[in-house]
Amino acid sequence: MIDTADGAPAAADDPIVFEQRLRLQAAREQRRDRMRRTGRQIVVLAIFICLLGLAYSLYKVVGTAIDDSQSDWPVIGSILPESDDLKMPPVLDIVSGIFEEPRGTNEPFWSIVGKEAAFTLREAAVGFAIGVIVGLSIAIVLTTSGRLERALVPHVIASQTIPLIAIAPIIVIWGRKSFDFLPFEWQDWMSVSIIATYLTFFPVTINGLRGLQSPRPENLELMDSYAAGWVQTLWRLRLPASLPYLFAAFKIAATASVVGAIVGEISAGVKGGLGRRVLLEAQRYTTGPERLYVAVLGAAALGIFVFAVISSIEYGLVGRKGRETVT
């Protein structure tokens, strides 16, 4: 090998130095590509939102016309729902609703919704974290035996057929009445996290199981031939091999945790989050319909945010190495 320490002229001919330079350059290009892609994604998102607003406005014109002259348009009028400013507040009203200060407050509405989104995010994040731990634990236990897997997977699936709204009050009551053995005081938002957990553990278990079982038989034989123990095989083969599967599940679970938290807040009557906000704005819809739309947009933004967070963690952990196998 050529000694690269003794000067640049020799290094220029050194294939290894040359290759390293190529690789650095490739990494730089990759970073630039990534930034360009992110920029493009933001532009696409903005265009999409504009198009959505346009479609919304266009339909409103049609719906309002139907509403005004139902007898003139007998066919369309009976098929398409009618519209007016109350049913569909104008887009500009919704946009200005973001910045207006609702009566009785001296805080712009986006700031109120933002704080409530943060409250919901905490519930969702705790629920997601517990869901990942529980879901992965179940998957690992099921991996130990095919018989256990066949026996328990139907129950895991059945658990998801129970309506979330039905179990939410039960969990809140348990939290208030039965969780006093815990070292900290149980708060209602924690019950909402448990409700979110109920939605998040499922994709993690199902995908985790597939991922943990994804190593080829000869890879498992290889670990056996090295007299590797069960834990070593789990840690050095099964878990790393399951990362791409797990991240697919994490993305589903993260958005589901937001849904679970909002539904949990609504059905458990927990104050402080987006669920309560949606409920409140629905109740006083006639005095400010645009605020309900803003609250819903806030919920959507929160879902996109958690998805983006998981995606960037995935990129950092497994995306860079080009995991395509060529064996």
Residues of this chain that interact with other proteins (CB under 8 A) are: 1, 15-16, 19, 216, 218-219, 221-228, 232, 236-237, 240-241, 243, 318, 321-327
Pairwise CA distance, residues 257 & 264, whole Å: 10
- Please state the closest distance from residue 214 (CB atom) to other proteins, in A: 12
For the bound state, the minimum distance from the C-beta of residue 218 to other proteins, rounded and expressed in Å, comes to 4
Output the smallest distance, CB 233 to other proteins, in A: 9
Whole-angstrom distance, CA of residue 106 vs CA of residue 266: 26
Identify the CA nearest to 123 among candidates 263, 244, 250: 263
> Looking at beta carbons only, is 107 or 221 nearer to other proteins?
221
Determine the 3-state secondary structure of 123 from DSSP.
helix
Report, in Å, the least distance between residue 215 CB and other proteins: 9
Quote the least distance from Cβ 66 to other proteins, whole Å.
58
Q: Which two tokens stand for residue 315?
A: 């990129």
Residues listed for the chain = 327
The residue among 22 and 133 lying less far from other proteins, judged by its C-beta, is 22
Give the count of beta carbons closer than 10 Å to the beta carbon of residue 101.
Answer: 12
Q: Which of 216/271 has CB closer to other proteins?
A: 216
Q: Which amino acid is at 317?
A: L
Residue 92: other Cβ atoms inside 10 A:
11
Contacts of residue 225, defined as CB under 8 A and 6 or more positions apart, other chains included, come to none
Query: With respect to other proteins, which residue has the nearer C-beta, 163 or 240?
Result: 240
As measured in angstroms, the least distance from the Cβ of 24 to other proteins is 12
- Closest to other proteins by CB, 185 or 324: 324
Report in angstroms how near the CB of residue 143 gets to other proteins at its nearest: 18
Q: Kindly state the tokens that stand for 116.
A: 């409530």
Find the DSSP H helices in the chain. Answer: 8-13, 15-68, 74-79, 91-99, 109-143, 146-159, 164-177, 188-212, 217-225, 230-233, 239-268, 274-283, 289-314
- Closer residue to other proteins (CB): 106 or 327: 327
Q: Quick one: 104 or 316, whose CB is closer to other proteins?
A: 316
